[in-house]
Amino acid sequence: MNGGGGAAGLAALRVFVDRPELKGPNAPWEIHAFEARKDIGGMWMNEDPGESVVYSGYDDPVPPTPLYNSLTTMGPHPIMAFHDFLFPPSTSLFPPASHVLDYLRAYADHFDLRRHIRFLTSVESLRWNTEISKWELIAVEGDKDKRPVKGLYDAMIFANGSYRKPRLPSIPGIGEWEGTGRKFTHAVSYREPSPFRGLNVLVVGAGPTGMDISNELTQTARVVYRSAPGASRTDEGAILMRGRVIALHPEDNRVDYEDGTSDTGIEHIIFATGYTFSFPSMEGLVPDANPPSGLSTSHIYPLARHIFPLRDYSPRTLAFVGLPTLLVPFPTFEDQSQAIATIFLNGDKLDRAAEEAKISERYNILHKRSKSKLSYIAEQWHRFRHGDPELEDQFEYRRELLALAGKKGWEVQSWEAQVWGDTPVMRKEWAKLVKSGVSEDWVRGVGEKGVGEWVELMHKVVQHAKQQH
The DSSP secondary structure of 293-342, one letter per residue, reads: PSB-SS-BSSEETTTEESSSS-TTTEEESS--BSS-HHHHHHHHHHHHHH
Three-state SS for 152? strand
Q: From first to last of the 469 residues of the chain, give the pLDDT tens digit.
A: 777 899 999 999 999 999 999 888 888 999 999 999 999 999 999 988 778 887 766 667 888 899 999 999 999 999 999 999 999 999 999 999 999 999 999 999 999 999 999 999 999 999 999 999 999 999 999 988 889 999 999 999 999 866 678 999 999 999 899 887 899 999 999 999 999 999 999 999 999 999 999 999 999 999 999 999 999 999 999 999 999 999 999 988 899 999 999 999 999 999 999 988 777 676 655 544 433 445 566 788 789 999 999 877 788 999 999 999 999 999 999 999 999 999 999 989 999 999 999 999 999 999 999 987 888 898 899 999 999 999 999 999 999 999 999 999 999 999 999 999 999 999 999 999 999 999 999 999 999 999 999 999 999 999 999 998 7
Torsion of CA 247, 253, 257, 262, to 10 degrees: -150
Select from 423, 357, 413 the least CA-distant residue to 387.
Answer: 423
DSSP assigned state of 104: H
Burial class of residue 91, CB neighbours in 10 A (0-12, 13-18, 19+):
buried
The β-bridge relationship of strands 262-264 and 254-257 is: antiparallel
Tell me how far apart the alpha carbons of residues 264 and 234 are, in angstroms, rounded to a whole number: 15
Q: For residue 240, which of 366, 9, 255 has the smallest C-alpha distance?
A: 255
Residue-range domain boundaries for the chain:
7-164+277-405, 168-273, 416-468
Backbone phi, then psi, for 397, in 5-degree steps? -55, -45
What homologous superfamily does CATH list for 168-273?
Answer: FAD/NAD(P)-binding domain (3.50.50.60)
Q: Dump the DSSP string for 40-81.
A: S-GGGSPPPTT--B--TT-SS-B-S----TT-B-SS-HHHHS
Same fold? 7-164+277-405, 168-273: yes
Task: Give the containing element (helix H, strand E) for 367.
Answer: helix 352-370
163 within 8 A of 43, measured Cβ to Cβ: yes
Maximum Cα interatomic distance, the chain, rounded to a whole number of Å? 71
Question: How high is the pLDDT of residue 287?
Answer: 45
User: Which architecture characterizes domain 7-164+277-405 according to CATH?
Assistant: 3-Layer(bba) Sandwich (3.50)
